[in-house]
Amino acid sequence: MEQTWLKEAQREIERKPPELERESYDGIINYLEHGYPSSRVRWHCHEEYELHLIVATSGRLFVGDYIGEFSPGHLVLTGPRLPHNWISTAVPEGGVPLRDMIVQFSHAPLAGAARMIPELRELLPLLERSSYGVEFFDMGVQAEQYLARIRATHGAERFGHFVQLMVALARTANYRLLSTASLRSYDDDATLAKVNAVLNYITENYREPISAEMLAEQVGMSLSKFSRFFRKATGNSFTDFINRLRINKACQLLMDTDQYVSNVCYDVGFQNVANFNRRFLQVKGVTPKQFRRQADGRFGGIGGPPDESVASAHLS
């Protein structure tokens, strides 16, 4: 029953455009927290950066086109207009009073301060990375301490705690980028609509052969213009984007099913197992089998059939 509900939630996220959430608050920093269930748990985006810490429950997260797992201590920074949602799947009866500790902040004040205060420029690369969503590892305890101080203070004292937390995140090398697509700022809604149409088509048809030439023709562009347009929209070349999207989908299957790696390869649109293994290693830093073993240890996954290595060797 839980798997069916989760798949329905995932399909709803894929069908439904993210709700644009608008916040108003005094100062640069907005602190929020909520339990679960909550009206704030929905597929949405907003203009602010968001640092999001899970302190209770586990489940599935969606950031851009990324799908993964979370548990207490899970810490993610999302950039402006990057859609996201956290859905808990292991919740005690009656829910939990506190699941999320959140800080939101706008770009313009911080970027303006960095122009005037050189010490703050250290944070700018972190903000750039957040356009893909950044997951930090082994930072949950430290982040919770800083977020508690931010919650308890105001004014310059609150800003000081916020800067200390952001510096710690900017300096750590223990992180990974999540989403393939980086939603950037555009001058007009028509351009953003065209970006979304292209990304939606790819997301819905990633299992099938898709070419840049075909999409360029659909949006009325030359191939060279489409290539520039696509890189600006996503931060990736067309080929890299397709490969990363398919590998993210493969990660989901490796965590959630006991399919052979070779079957996962074809299910996500790759036509060659050796190429799939090579691309997976480039993107994730591990082979599909190693990823499945890591996911099994970290998230209690299924882990695959015992004779998978033999079957994969024959099919490769």
- Give the pLDDT score at 81: 84
What gap in Å lies between CA 213 and CA 228, rounded to an integer? 13
Alpha-carbon distances, residue 270 vs 76, 242, 244, 264 (angstroms): 29, 10, 11, 9
Tokens at residue 92, please?
């005690």
What gap in Å lies between CA 46 and CA 257, rounded to an integer? 33
Q: Measure CA 151 to chain center.
A: 25
Residues 6+ apart with CB under 8 A from 145: none
What gap in Å lies between CA 35 and CA 55, rounded to an integer? 10
For the chain, what's the residue count? 316
- Give the pLDDT score at 293: 83
Per-residue pLDDT tens digits of the chain, which is 316 residues long: 444 544 555 555 444 555 555 554 567 899 999 999 998 888 788 889 999 999 999 988 888 878 788 999 999 999 998 888 898 987 999 999 999 999 999 999 999 999 999 999 999 999 999 988 999 999 999 999 999 999 999 999 999 999 999 999 999 999 988 887 665 545 556 766 777 678 778 878 999 999 999 999 988 889 999 998 888 777 778 998 899 889 988 988 888 789 999 999 999 999 999 999 999 998 888 899 998 887 665 444 433 333 333 233 222 2
What gap in Å lies between CA 128 and CA 130, rounded to an integer? 5
- Give the pLDDT score at 305: 38
